[in-house]
Structure 1
Amino acid sequence: MITSISVLLSLLVLALAWWGWGAHSTGTRGALPPGPTPLPLLGNLLQLESRRMDRVLMELSGRWGPVFTVRLGLRPAVVLCGYAALRDALVLQADTFSGRGAMAAFERFTSGNGIVFSNGPRWLKLRNFALGALKAFGLGTRTMEDRVLEEAACLLGEFQATAGALFDPRRLLDNAVSNVICSVVFGKRYGYGDPEFLRLLDLFNDNFRIMSSRWGEMYNIFPSLLDWLPGPHHRIFRNFAELRVFISEQIQRHRQTRQPGEPRDFIDCFLDQMDKEQQDPKSHFQDETLVMTTHNLFFGGTETTSTTLRYGLLILLKYPEVAAKVQAELDAVVGRTRAPRLEDRARLPYTNAMLHEIQRFISVLPLGLPRALTRDTHLCGHSLPKGTFVIPLLMSAHRDPTQFKDPDCFNPANFLDDKGEFQSNDAFMPFGPGKRMCLGAGLARSEIFLFLTAVLQRFCLLPEGNPARIDLTPHCTGLGNVPPAFQLRLVAR
């Protein structure tokens, strides 16, 4: 049955792709780097296997080099593979590679609004404003650390309430992580049993999974065609609409209760800026931009960090000896009478290495988010024209054998020197390097450290079955690496 559906879908794609995309193909002028021979209409899709796209692209790089072209349907995409190519492009030519490549699913929802998928002066203006506003509410300060620690204490209480029974930690982790960004964006946190908020977190998770599946990949390649075909991809936009209603309601409540010039949170700051620029017809501070920017911060500050924490727990269940070594270091340096703080990181080399290794090993956004060239350029002997759609294969830096001792295995020693001290590595780029680095990278790093160390300090992690049988293979690989569902048992230490 599945094979028949796949054949039917392929036939429909062949028959209708020209109708759906022929007039809207996003070609670029000039020659692009060589790559595998594409099929008519489908491009290289049959080679880019579902759930293995990142791996297949790395294999293709072995033949075509660190910069090569694949066709996603009719759209040419230049792939950057390996640390050297990613550094040369995204760091050394940061301005040139600072454009955002269009993704149909996000484009349909955002229309190029917000921070993540905007371009040009709008993106620069919104990013600088958001950074300033977030810093004003504690981003990168002790105040924000205290907020995370308060939320970590709430999370530990919820974990304690499981009383040693098996449970799925996804919702609790989602809630804890999201509450940190909600305190800044909305000025409040939400209880772990709040049904409305749990519904929103489920919508985030559902969208992340669908957009990381083959359905999400296909929609971004053949949007006009997939609009006519049934499938789970349609849920993306129903979920978006429901999230939009929630955000719009929050903004309306802020309008009714705010004191202009006395901002309580990010939304108030944005409304103040709208007031200042209301007479400017070219202002980027509009209602729609506020909705999309709030969504970007809300989603970006929740899903990838929560996914990293969840994947981290699964990895530690599989490697209990690593968890035990971290716990021994925490006991020796921090003890059990106070919570670990960010200032402790320098004295916790193995723990710090373990947290970096989790992020390196899973590469939560393996293909990164697409870039677009803002001007003509040269890279690795190739000429690339303005507008070129670029896939920065972040996973390839994390699995680069020239940069890591044991790139294909989970091994904290990848971030330790010969003396057992923590050793940073420029090839570590889970948040994307350059001008488009994730806005909340610093907050995410803090949350990953504070939440995971708090859990390990308090609890022993017990798997549902034999640790050796735990499968770390992502459930979805596309936009994001999504861990398989699992349950665990927590026992107080």
Structure 2
Amino acid sequence: MIFQALFDCMDFTSWLLLGFTVLLLTDLIRNWKPHSFPPGPWAVPFLGNIFKGVDFKTMERLAQEYGPVFSLRRGGERTVFISGYKMVKEALVNQLDSFVDRPIVPLFHVIFKGIGIALSNGYLWKKQRKFASTHLRYFGEGHRSLEKYIEVENNFLCEAFKEEQGKPFNPHYTVTNAVSNIIASVVFGHRFEYSDQSFRKVLELDNDAIVLAGAFQTQLYDAFPGLFKYLPGPHQTVFANYTEILAFLKKEVKKHQEEWNPDDPRDFIDVYLAEMEKKKEDPEAGFNIETLLVCTLDLIEAGTESSANTLRWALVYMMHYPEIQEKVQVEIDRVIGQSRQPTMADRPDLPYTDAVIHETQRMGNIVPLGFPKMASKDTTLAGYFIPKGTAVITILSSVLFDKNEWETPDIFNPQHFLDSEGQFRRRDAFLPFSAGKRVCIGEHLARMELFLMFTCLLQHFTFSPVPGEMPSIEGVMGFTHSPEEFRMLAVPR
């Protein structure tokens, strides 16, 4: 009777208020923080902390306020952020098996589908990563080494710069194409001319997708994928770009299938096709055409973006610090001269050059928030409880700029990587490739590319800004941190 009386006296507004109250209570109960969960700012009901910036500078300010382990809620999902060298090392190295898995990132899951190398988990991830790592090592030790690929590409890159005749030009896609050609040679068995418009289009689509992936509007898709799936926005551009890139990769794979000779494997795709035959009785390992496409995308993207970005940052810093550029050139002239290309064997004799490259990686801060990970089991970190399945982000920028680890963290200073005698020294807090079991699979290749390509460029050219156009060192924040577009002068030495 009481409920009937209440029902009879409630008007439309009352029902709306009741409905809202029920939804609010449901949201509060569903998103109640677990006991001893990392602290964080108050979350707006239904929305969470979506109005907090998604850039690394915002994350570092939050770390100062809430401590090195804190949390944010976006929509109905909580993410734990880990800041500073000490705590990042604890998570990724000391607790090696605690944060091995990848969470589902809705924006990328549409394309990568939880398969391939970067975003897969469990048995499939182990098999795919091991296979890719083995293949990269094979090409490092095989009849045509990775170093040889880089040496060949250096010739094309220097020639392209010479053709600019010391006049102003934008090096963005020349550098990106050159770097991408190294991994393309490994994956496809051939390089692409800088004038190849189809491959240039792939590089442009990928660049745009990476920049857009870091935008606030795109991040809304990750918070509310069910809603934004049907709405226009930059996430739709990301999907369209990756779809076009995959179409390009499908053509390459199809061509390999038509020409495939199991007795004469030429590249990654060929050996993957052979592995598909071997693993027919093990479908859980995921060796099929769909996974091959995603693995190829993983390798091309990982083998291009970070190294190309770092080389462009290197050009920017050399223009900002001509005295450092001159010291690098003096060292190169003394050790190598002009008669031959640099080799990896030269690196121990070029400590200053090596230090400048490492400092560029540190200051360039290419992947400031790393790539999302997930607690593989119930875990305790810094006294906080992190339940299995919780998304975790290690703030790599906080490691590269940790005031407890670097003498002048906010200044470009190659001395960070030199000892008192001027010899190169490794630094524990140098983690641009992340650490632990999910460390970047292409780290070895990237280190070779950066050393050989940077040294070769400084051997042959002096770089200076176009008068009145000094490039910015602020950077553009997408999924990666890249230099703003710039023009420069490359004067042959």
Question: How big is the shift at 1:142?
Answer: 7.6
SS at the partner of 2:284? coil
Aligned partners of 2:424 and 2:285: how far apart in 1? 46
Aligned partners of 1:273 and 1:476: how far apart in 2? 39
Question: How big is the shift at 1:26?
Answer: 9.2
Question: How big is the shift at 1:55?
Answer: 1.2
Counterpart of 1:297?
A: 299
**Partner deviation per Cα, 1:64-107 (whole Å, 9 max, x = no partner):** 21111122233211111000001001011122111112221110
Counterpart of 2:445?
A: 443
Structure 1 pair 140–264 and aligned structure 2 pair: CA distance change class (3 A): closer
Aligned partners of 2:456 and 2:471: how far apart in 1? 23
Counterpart of 1:11?
A: none
Counterpart of 2:204?
A: 202
Counterpart of 2:52?
A: 47
Q: What pairs with 1:32-431 in structure 2 (closer than 5 Å)?
A: 32-48=37-53, 53-138=55-140, 143-431=145-433
The 4+ residue runs of structure 1 with deviation greater than 6 A are 25-28, 139-142
Structure 1 pair 256–327 and aligned structure 2 pair: CA distance change class (3 A): same
Counterpart of 1:4?
A: none
**Partner deviation per Cα, 1:244-298 (whole Å, 9 max, x = no partner):** 1111111111111111243111111111111112244434111111111111011
Aligned partners of 1:29 and 1:115: how far apart in 2? 32
Aligned partners of 1:311 and 1:207: how far apart in 2? 20
SS at the partner of 1:269? helix
Question: 1:359, 1:430 within 8 Å by CA — same for their partners in 2?
Answer: yes
Unaligned stretches of 5+ in structure 2? Answer: 1-19
Aligned partners of 2:33 and 2:367: how far apart in 1? 26
Aligned partners of 1:134 and 1:433: how far apart in 2? 19
Structure 1 pair 140–222 and aligned structure 2 pair: CA distance change class (3 A): farther
Q: Which amino acid aligns with 1:427?
A: A
Aligned partners of 2:70 and 2:219: how far apart in 1? 20
Question: How big is the shift at 1:196?
Answer: 0.9
Counterpart of 1:476?
A: 477
Aligned partners of 1:227 and 1:28: how far apart in 2? 28
Aligned partners of 1:26 and 1:339: how far apart in 2? 59
Aligned partners of 2:67 and 2:387: how far apart in 1? 19
Question: How big is the shift at 1:30?
Answer: 5.2
**Partner deviation per Cα, 1:378-428 (whole Å, 9 max, x = no partner):** 111112111111011000000101111110111111112222221211111
Structure 1 pair 154–281 and aligned structure 2 pair: CA distance change class (3 A): closer
Aligned partners of 1:102 and 1:440: how far apart in 2? 22
Aligned partners of 2:59 and 2:81: how far apart in 1? 8
Counterpart of 1:3?
A: none
Question: 1:140, 1:442 within 8 Å by CA — same for their partners in 2?
Answer: no
Structure 1 pair 26–130 and aligned structure 2 pair: CA distance change class (3 A): farther
Aligned partners of 1:26 and 1:144: how far apart in 2? 50
Question: 1:28, 1:387 within 8 Å by CA — same for their partners in 2?
Answer: no
Question: How big is the shift at 1:322?
Answer: 1.2
Question: 1:27, 1:76 within 8 Å by CA — same for their partners in 2?
Answer: no
Aligned partners of 1:141 and 1:207: how far apart in 2? 36
Aligned partners of 2:279 and 2:421: how far apart in 1? 56
Aligned partners of 1:74 and 1:482: how far apart in 2? 31
Aligned partners of 2:213 and 2:368: how far apart in 1? 13
Question: How big is the shift at 1:214?
Answer: 2.4
- Bigger mean CA offset, 67-76 vs 360-369: 67-76
Counterpart of 2:490?
A: 490
Q: Which amino acid aligns with 2:481?
A: N
Aligned partners of 2:227 and 2:326: how far apart in 1? 51
Question: How big is the shift at 1:27?
Answer: 8.9
Aligned partners of 2:172 and 2:465: how far apart in 1? 15
SS at the partner of 2:140? coil
Aligned partners of 1:471 and 1:336: how far apart in 2? 31
SS at the partner of 1:390? strand
Q: TM-score under structure 2 normalisation?
A: 0.91
Aligned partners of 1:372 and 1:453: how far apart in 2? 38
Structure 1 pair 351–27 and aligned structure 2 pair: CA distance change class (3 A): farther
- Bigger mean CA offset, 185-194 vs 27-36: 27-36
Unaligned stretches of 5+ in structure 1? Answer: 1-14
Structure 1 pair 323–273 and aligned structure 2 pair: CA distance change class (3 A): same
Q: Which has the larger radius of gyration?
A: 2
Q: TM-score under structure 1 normalisation?
A: 0.91
Q: Which amino acid aligns with 2:299?
A: L
Question: How big is the shift at 1:221?
Answer: 2.4
Structure 1 pair 139–425 and aligned structure 2 pair: CA distance change class (3 A): farther
Question: How big is the shift at 1:141?
Answer: 9.4
| C-alpha RMSD over aligned residues | 2.3
Aligned partners of 1:179 and 1:33: how far apart in 2? 44
Structure 1 pair 140–87 and aligned structure 2 pair: CA distance change class (3 A): farther
